[in-house]
Amino acid sequence: MALNLTKFKKDLKDALLAAQEKNQVDNLAEDPKDAPAVAMGNLADELATVIDAYIKTATVSTTVSTTVTGACATPAGPGTIEGTGSGSGTGSLS
């Protein structure tokens, strides 16, 4: 699944509006000097939720190839052994 930037933009806008709504209240903080920090916390919470959800819609894939060489003993004396392998996979973030 490809990341949907259009949906992400809408979700960000909704998060900004939700934070704005939370912050447009009287007595946002017990001490008025704390109001900016409370407002920023509300904004950070809303944005973090949307960003986390967006990142988790990504699909991750990887491919690995490897060769392993080692020493071994044979009846005729020392020898080498070699093996190769590869694999790939896809998954979602959580």
Please state the rounded mean pLDDT for residues 73-83: 89
Q: Are residue 79 and residue 39 in the same domain, yes or no?
A: no
The number of angstroms, rounded, from the C-alpha of 70 to the middle of its chain's C-alpha atoms is: 38
> Do 42 and 75 belong to one domain?
no
Taken in order 91, 51, 37, 39, the sign of the CA dihedral is negative
pLDDT at 2 over 70: no
Q: Does the pLDDT value for residue 79 go beyond 80?
A: yes
What is the identity of the amino acid at 65? S
- Can you read off the two tokens belonging to residue 4? 């949907």
Residue 58 · residue 93 · CB < 8 Å? yes
Structural domain of 11: 5-55
Q: What is the number of structural domains in the chain?
A: 2
User: What pLDDT shows up at residue 1?
Assistant: 52
Q: Report the chain's mean pLDDT, rounded to a whole number.
A: 90
- Same domain? For 15 and 50 the reply is yes
Q: Give the pTM.
A: 0.63
Q: Are residues 38 and 18 in the same domain?
A: yes
Q: Give the pLDDT confidence score for residue 94 in this predicted structure.
A: 74
Asked whether residue 71 falls in the same domain as residue 41, the answer is no
64 and 51 in a common domain: no
